[in-house]
Each structure stands twice: as C-alpha cells, then as structure tokens.
Amino acid sequence: MIRFRQHGEPKDVLAVEDRPVPEPGAGEVRVRILASPVNPSDLLYVRGQYSGVEARFPAPAGFEGVGVIDAVGPHVQGLAPGQRVSVINGKGGNWAEYSVVPSRDLIPVPDELPDEQVASLVINPAAAILMVRHVLAVPRGEWLLQSAAGSELGRMVIRLAKRDGIRTVNVVRRRESVAALQRLGADRVIVSTDGPIDEQVRSIVGPEGVKYAIDPVVGETGTQMFKALHEDGRMLVYGSLTGEPIRMGDDPRYVLSGRRILEVFWLGYWLPRLGDAARRQLAEDLVSLIGDGVLETSPGRAYSLDEIIPAVIESESTGRQGKVALVPGRQ
C-alpha cells in the first residue's frame, strides 16, 4: 500500500510499504482494489492542505476507487463477496491492494460501467450533482458561472447543466480550450486574460449579473466572479487552486448592498449528512448519468503502485489528458 510519514510534496513523501491483508470488523467490508484515481484532494491531503481529514502517521492515501468485495464482517447486509463496487474511503487507504471500509460507503455497480468510470464514480460526479441540483438548485433557464471549466469536474458541470436546461458561462485561462468546451455544450466561454471576468460576464447575462456561480480557484479569479454576482446571487467555493483569498472589501457596492452569499462546498461534509433515501437516489443518479456519458470521466494513464511517484507527477502536469489512476495489479 501507499503511505506517507509526514506532510510534504507527494513525490517526496509517498512510498510503497508492505502491510498484512486487513481484516474487516463489524459493519465493515474488505475490498480488493482494482483501480484508484489520483485526485487533487488526495494530493492536498498528502501536503497537509486538506481540511476536515486529519492524517495519522504513517498515513494511507487514496479516497476513491473501484474494487471487488473480498470479505464481509459481522452485521453486513446486502453485500457479498464477488460484487464489484465503488469504494469511498473517507480516511484514505485506496492506494493499496486491499482496503477495509464501512459497508455504507460502498455502491454496487452494473457490469456495463467500465472500471475507469467506477473508479471515479463519486468525488467529481457527486460534487457536480450536489452543487448544481441540490445546494444551489439552479432553475432551468438560469445562468451558471463557473471557473476551471476545462477540468474534469468543470466538463461534467457543462454536460449536466445542458441536460438540465441550465445555461453556462465558463471561465478558462487558455484560448485553445474554448472550442472543446463549446463542443461539449458550453453556452459561453470566456478567457480570463481578455479582461475583468465580471465585466465579461455582465456583457453576456446582463448588467444585473449572474445569480449562481461555482469556483475552485479563488484569489483574483474568485474575487472577480464574486463581483459578477447578481445582488441576490450565490457563489460556492469548492477548492483553492491558487491558495489566495477572495477579496470582498475593496468595493462597497458588492459588500454593503444586496444579499450576495459566498459559501463553501465540501463533499466530505455533505455525503455523511445524506439520509439513506437520499444516498440511494444519489447512487442511482450517479450510475445513470455516468452510463449516459453526462458525468463520465476521461480516462488517463494507468500506473502500478510501484510507480506512485511518476503517477502523482503526471496527475499535475500541464496539458495532461484524462484522469491518472493507480492499478494495483498492473505489471
């Protein structure tokens, strides 16, 4: 399995360690991992920059994956050895041959969904569904503004919004990204270097601004997006790619008027708070929308566990194509 003994740059602190095969306890299931993606949240956790999950050293890594149930502990119902499942590991540990997780954190999946899609079934797709349909509950016909639109999650939001009749304004840094996002169904794509984001947005949606926005960048991008909000607008921040703050105090027009709301979205907060019925509905929506290609993940290069260092380097490389994955059985 992959563990780290201190926070730091992933390429410097991650290492393969031999560990005994873990045994499931009451309410737990042991899963043989088939594949696990390298997500930004995994690397933030290794760096010590991921709030909400405290590493206990030596700490395992890997929050998401696909596997086959290998053994079930006492008091587990509805799951059996041999079932293929999506595996969410809230404490990390999916970058391994075997992982033990609570049975509640597994989602059985149909045979027709390939492993590379099931491996990334939850984190990005569930965030897209919850942010757009539940937290913001963007009405049909409204505009939704998002930054980092060319990311895996950004592309999912474009396709989901198109399915739901929501119009999107999408912010990118590179002009060469525009055509690809338009082919996906983006209504408008703006390049951040073409001028202030808020001015570009208002020229599209009207002078009152946009009512809904999502942003994983913050810093100057987030600041300009907040300025693009309607006086009753809401903006979700679900990441911090720049590590810089959003400034709201430099212009009283946006701080002392209207009812603009800036709030944080963290999947680790929302998922545990869903009731059983809501979790079942979310699982059904995930399987259905991924099967339809709406929330599919672009597969990237696969690495073995022994190749963890090149895997994490590739996952953050400029121009990378698709989601990097760790495949324990790969030679």
Distance (Å, rounded) from C-alpha 55 to C-alpha 14? 13
* pLDDT at residue 258 in the model: 72
* pLDDT at residue 53 in the model: 80
Q: Any residues with CB less than 8 A from the CB of 192 and at least 6 apart, and which?
A: 147, 171, 172, 173, 221, 224
Topology given in CATH for the domain delimited by 2-120+297-326: Quinone Oxidoreductase; Chain A, domain 1 (3.90.180)
Instruction: Please count the other Cβ atoms lying within 10 Å of the Cβ belonging to residue 118.
Output: 26
The CATH code of the domain at 124-268 is 3.40.50.720
Q: Splitting the chain (331 residues) into consecutive groups of 10 residues, what average pLDDT does each group show?
A: 96 95 96 96 90 87 97 95 95 95 94 94 95 96 96 95 98 92 96 94 96 94 93 92 72 70 90 89 94 93 96 87 89 63
Kindly tell me the burial class for residue 26, based on how many C-beta atoms sit within 10 Å of its own C-beta (0-12, 13-18, 19 or more).
exposed
Query: Where in the chain is CATH 3.40.50.720?
Result: 124-268
Q: Any residues with CB less than 8 A from the CB of 171 and at least 6 apart, and which?
A: 145, 146, 147, 148, 149, 189, 190, 191, 192, 197, 221, 225
Helix (H, G, I), strand (E, B) or coil at 216: coil
Query: Where in the chain is CATH 3.90.180.10?
Result: 2-120+297-326
* pLDDT at residue 37 in the model: 97
Helix 197-205 with 219-227: angle, nearest 10 deg: 30
* pLDDT at residue 256 in the model: 65
* pLDDT at residue 244 in the model: 75
* pLDDT at residue 38 in the model: 96
Distance (Å, rounded) from C-alpha 123 to C-alpha 109? 16
* pLDDT at residue 330 in the model: 75
CA trace torsion 48, 54, 59, 60 (10° rounding)? -100
Please measure the distance between the N-terminal and C-terminal CA atoms of the chain and give it in whole angstroms: 15
* pLDDT at residue 255 in the model: 65
CB 141 within 8 A of CB 168: no
Helix (H, G, I), strand (E, B) or coil at 150: coil
Distance (Å, rounded) from C-alpha 57 to C-alpha 49? 15
* pLDDT at residue 250 in the model: 65
Distance (Å, rounded) from C-alpha 105 to C-alpha 24? 14
Alpha carbons within 13 angstroms on the beta-carbon side of residue 43 total: 20
pTM over 0.95: no
E strand or H helix that includes residue 178:
helix 178-184
